[in-house]
Chains A and B, each alone.
Chain A
Amino acid sequence: MSNSAPRAPRRLYKGWAPYLFFAPFLLLTAVFTIYPLINAIILAFQQTNGPASRVFVGLDNFRYVLTDPTFYKALGNTTTYAFFSVFLQLPLALGLALLLNTEKSRAKGFFRLILFSPNLVGQIFVGILFGVLFTPRYGLINRGVQLLIGWGLNEQWLGNPALVMPAIVITGLWMWVGFNMIYFLAALQSVDKTLLEAARIDGANPFQVFWNVTLPSIRHVVVFVVVTSIIGSYQLFELPLALLPVTEGKGPDNSGLTVIMYLYDQGFSAGDLGLGSAVGWIVAAIIFFLSLVQIRIAQLTD
């Protein structure tokens, strides 16, 4: 009797213990995730002047955004960047990964570091660096292009609306190719070597081996990289901001404006958090839809 008495409260405590230890996480999630999420939904239906004044405007914010030509310009620019991320950046990353995946390559580690290193310095640094490289007359890229094709010495890459997006794509390429290459390289190293060998014995050429054996083996990684690239592209913000400082990241004629920058401008620069919130929900819906399509395509090709 005397032995069993202290065990009862201990069992009671043990019953509460999981909830007690779970409580800080739940509290933080409620304060920093669930509350902002609910508030963001409410905000999207209000017009605000910062956090002080709020007026309910119904669907006006969504109506405004969906009829604003600047939003479509931003969406077009971001989609262009996303397109080149998927169809230029990723094939290049995969190609480099295939090159580095050969067993003969002695300098594999060195090249892996070199190609990955742009990612270590951050988007602001890369943006500022390329801002200098694209300088008319004196920039390395201007001089290089002039040397190669006899054009472009005085060209304003960052001042000409037609050249701003190519400049951002080139900069993004330098920044992200190595990063995505690491994913592909890791996937390639896990491809079953006996399958590759069997294909070669059966007379498959290198392209057939890649198309019929390697690519299907790494398809889940490909889907993952494509989805994260699309999401990353639609979140593009710092890179154009650092590359185009004079126009605060927008470029001439809004040629470098991205959807997140549009959101930032409306929500924080103009102070209408309601409108910014509405843009945020629209962007989230677009990303969700694109990711869904991508995953569905991957499932269909399974």
Chain B
Amino acid sequence: MRATRGIEDFPYGKAPFWLMLGALGSLLLLVWVQLGQNANRPDLVLELSAPNHVIAYRTVAERFEREHGVKVALQLVNPRALTTRLQNSLLAGTEVPDLAELPIDAMRYFGRGPLQDIGFVDLTERLATQGYRARLVEARLSPWSKSGHIFALPHDVHPVMLAYRADLVEALGIDVEKLQTWDDFVAVGQRVTADLDGDGSIDRFMIDLPSGGSQGLSIVMLQRGLSLFDEHDNVTFNQPLTVDTIIWYLHQNYGEHRIAFDCGWGQPLAKAMADGLVLFYIQPDWRTHVTEMEAPKVAGKMKLMPLPAWEPGGRRTAVWGGSGLAITKRGKNPELAWQFAQELYFTRSELGKRFLDTNIIPALKDAWDLPELNQPNAFFSGQRLGSLYANLASQVPPLWSNPYTIIAEGKINEVLLRALEHYKVQGDRGLKEFVAQELDEAEAYIHRQIDRNVLSKPASSEQQAAARP
């Protein structure tokens, strides 16, 4: 009764009283939640974007917690958030995780500005002094490097092979041992790609390749030693071999002698495999696990072979994808984070178990003799997956990181599609010159982007320092 009279006596009336009370309550709740969050913050936070990695790392995290008496949290984050938001958090000075397992193209976000703006601990010295550098596949340090400094540990190698429907390929009398070069492969492909029921649509293709270029074109270019940029950030794609590769790719995807079909991802890809619509599929080690999960109908019918070489005796693999573990500079305890990183990536027993869970061979070369990597895989007709990929790992080409990689990839795909328009109208007449001209324009466009970036130019460093808040 007295309380009610008190509210009525509030000088601004009843409604404002409740509004003020609500506002005060919200404020107190906010403070309480914030304090609770700070009190419960783990000693180490690892953010990562691959769900199967979270499962694989859980046991290591639990053991690390017991041995060090600390609390470790593994947080699954969308890859886009992991890169763009983390970059902005690092630069804006807001809360960041202690470790982040980054996707392969992450350095394009983190390496755009000057070296000192990179928010990760420079691991170059540690890797050299602790002997890890010699034990890792050197080419796999390239995606995580900028100006000779290494900012993440490579998780994987991801050599690329071809998976094929062994039952159908054998029934067609194809001897995969004889598919040594792409010329051999295309010749057989033109024989088996066919409209089987006469309805005007092709019902059997030799290989699954993305029609718009994308990873397919990137893989064959890398296999041929064609990278978009070199380690000194020079644009390196504009050369006659690229012209030749783009025209080759175009011929496999379009025209009367095409042998490729774009199966896409997920269910359509699994159905194409099951139906035998396509015989050969580009398959890095991580994708074999996806195939096992998504296409159970082809279990025991698949086999793997190395990519055909561009010339006899040439490179039989390329690279697709990857991730790397970085330690943030502003993390709570970078030394503890480094210890945890070593546990995750360099503990042999864990790497063996992880291979069985993911089919991914580690970047640590001395782990390739682990028994788990040499076990026969029933899905792939009893082949020893780990050994097959490890045998190709030393041939994996470097993948230099660059802030303009995505733009360059987009430009290469544009060149392919414009070449297709030319091809539709004029066939092969003038195609080579057209592609060369398009590549010149693509290179000029990228140079325009690079020249605009005043923040990464050494000449403007004084200007940058003056501009820094």
Instruction: Name the segment of A94-102, A215-223, A267-275 touching the other chain.
Output: A267-275
- CB-defined interface of A30-50 with B at 8 Å, one 1/0 digit per residue? 000000000000000001111
Q: How far is the CB of A260 from chain B (nearest CB, A)?
A: 15
**A272→B74 CA distance, assembly (Å):** 30
Chain B residues with Cβ under 8 A from A53's Cβ? 91, 113-114, 117, 455, 464, 467-468
User: Are A246 and B265 in contact (CB-based, < 8 A)?
Assistant: yes
User: Are A50 and B417 in contact (CB-based, < 8 A)?
Assistant: no
Chain A residues with Cβ under 8 A from B113's Cβ? 49-50, 52-53, 271
User: Are A17 and B12 in contact (CB-based, < 8 A)?
Assistant: yes
User: Are A132 and B464 in contact (CB-based, < 8 A)?
Assistant: no
**From B88, B109, B410, B453, contact of A254 by CB (8 A):** B410
Q: Which DSSP category, helix, strand, loop or mixed, fits chain B's interface?
A: helix
- CB-defined interface of B72-91 with A at 8 Å, one 1/0 digit per residue? 00000000000010011011
Chain B residues with Cβ under 8 A from A139's Cβ? 268
User: Are A252 and B417 in contact (CB-based, < 8 A)?
Assistant: yes
Size class of the contact patch on chain A = 35 or more
User: Are A269 and B417 in contact (CB-based, < 8 A)?
Assistant: no
Task: Name the residue of chain A whose CB is nearest to the CB of B266.
Answer: A132
A192 at the interface (CB under 8 A from B): no
**A246→B214 CA distance, assembly (Å):** 8
A253 at the interface (CB under 8 A from B): yes
Given A132-B267, A271-B87, the answer on whether A47 and B455 have CB atoms closer than 8 Å is: yes
Q: How far is the CB of A216 from chain B (nearest CB, A)?
A: 44
Chain A residues with Cβ under 8 A from B455's Cβ? 47-49, 53, 55
**A14→B11 CA distance, assembly (Å):** 7
Size class of the contact patch on chain B = 35 or more
Task: Name the residue of chain B whose CB is nearest to the CB of A273.
Answer: B88
Chain A residues with Cβ under 8 A from B277's Cβ? 137
- CB-defined interface of B412-434 with A at 8 Å, one 1/0 digit per residue? 01100110000000000000000
- Residues in A40-72 with C-beta less than 8 Å from chain B: 47-57, 60, 64
**A10→B19 CA distance, assembly (Å):** 19
**From B16, B117, B417, contact of A161 by CB (8 A):** B417
**A139→B265 CA distance, assembly (Å):** 13
Q: How far is the CB of A46 from chain B (nearest CB, A)?
A: 8
**A167→B410 CA distance, assembly (Å):** 21
A211 at the interface (CB under 8 A from B): no
B171 at the interface (CB under 8 A from A): no
Given A49-B455, A50-B92, A51-B92, the answer on whether A247 and B212 have CB atoms closer than 8 Å is: yes
B292 at the interface (CB under 8 A from A): no
Q: How far is the CB of A92 from chain B (nearest CB, A)?
A: 29
**From B200, B268, B453, contact of A137 by CB (8 A):** B268
User: Are A250 and B410 in contact (CB-based, < 8 A)?
Assistant: yes
Q: Which DSSP category, helix, strand, loop or mixed, fits chain A's interface?
A: mixed
Q: How far is the CB of B409 from chain A (nearest CB, A)?
A: 10
Chain A residues with Cβ under 8 A from B114's Cβ? 49, 53
Task: Name the residue of chain B whose CB is nearest to the CB of A49.
Answer: B113
A289 at the interface (CB under 8 A from B): no
- CB-defined interface of B353-377 with A at 8 Å, one 1/0 digit per residue? 0000000000000000000000000
Given A136-B268, A246-B214, A253-B418, the answer on whether A55 and B463 have CB atoms closer than 8 Å is: yes
B406 at the interface (CB under 8 A from A): yes
User: Are B11 and A13 in contact (CB-based, < 8 A)?
Assistant: yes
Chain B residues with Cβ under 8 A from A253's Cβ? 212, 413-414, 417-418
Given A52-B91, A53-B464, the answer on whether A271 and B112 have CB atoms closer than 8 Å is: yes
User: Are A159 and B210 in contact (CB-based, < 8 A)?
Assistant: yes
Chain B residues with Cβ under 8 A from A254's Cβ? 410, 414
**From A50, A55, A136, contact of B460 by CB (8 A):** A55
A21 at the interface (CB under 8 A from B): yes
Task: Name the residue of chain B whose CB is nearest to the CB of A47.
Answer: B454
Q: How far is the CB of B298 from chain A (nearest CB, A)?
A: 16
Chain B residues with Cβ under 8 A from A270's Cβ? 112, 403
**A285→B406 CA distance, assembly (Å):** 29
**A13→B277 CA distance, assembly (Å):** 80
**A54→B413 CA distance, assembly (Å):** 32
Given A14-B11, A51-B91, the answer on whether A21 and B16 have CB atoms closer than 8 Å is: yes
User: Are B211 and A160 in contact (CB-based, < 8 A)?
Assistant: yes
**A269→B82 CA distance, assembly (Å):** 11
**From A13, A17, A24, A154, contact of B23 by CB (8 A):** A24
User: Are A252 and B88 in contact (CB-based, < 8 A)?
Assistant: no
B272 at the interface (CB under 8 A from A): yes
Chain A residues with Cβ under 8 A from B418's Cβ? 253
- Residues in B248-282 with C-beta less than 8 Å from chain A: 261-265, 267-268, 271-272, 277
Task: Name the residue of chain A whose CB is nearest to the CB of B417.
Answer: A253
Chain B residues with Cβ under 8 A from A161's Cβ? 417
**A252→B12 CA distance, assembly (Å):** 62
Given A136-B268, A269-B406, A271-B109, the answer on whether A159 and B414 have CB atoms closer than 8 Å is: no
**A246→B215 CA distance, assembly (Å):** 10
**A252→B262 CA distance, assembly (Å):** 13
**From A51, A136, A269, contact of B109 by CB (8 A):** A269
**A204→B267 CA distance, assembly (Å):** 55
B201 at the interface (CB under 8 A from A): yes
20 contacts between A and B (CB under 8 A): A13-B11, A47-B453, A48-B455, A49-B117, A52-B113, A53-B455, A55-B454, A64-B452, A132-B267, A135-B264, A136-B262, A136-B263, A159-B212, A246-B210, A252-B212, A252-B213, A252-B417, A253-B418, A254-B410, A271-B109
Closest 8 CB pairs of A and B: A49-B113, A50-B91, A252-B212, A52-B91, A51-B92, A253-B417, A135-B268, A159-B211
Given A50-B91, A53-B455, 13 more A-B residue pairs with CB atoms under 8 Å apart are A21-B12, A49-B114, A50-B90, A52-B92, A55-B467, A136-B261, A136-B263, A137-B272, A156-B211, A246-B214, A253-B414, A268-B88, A271-B109
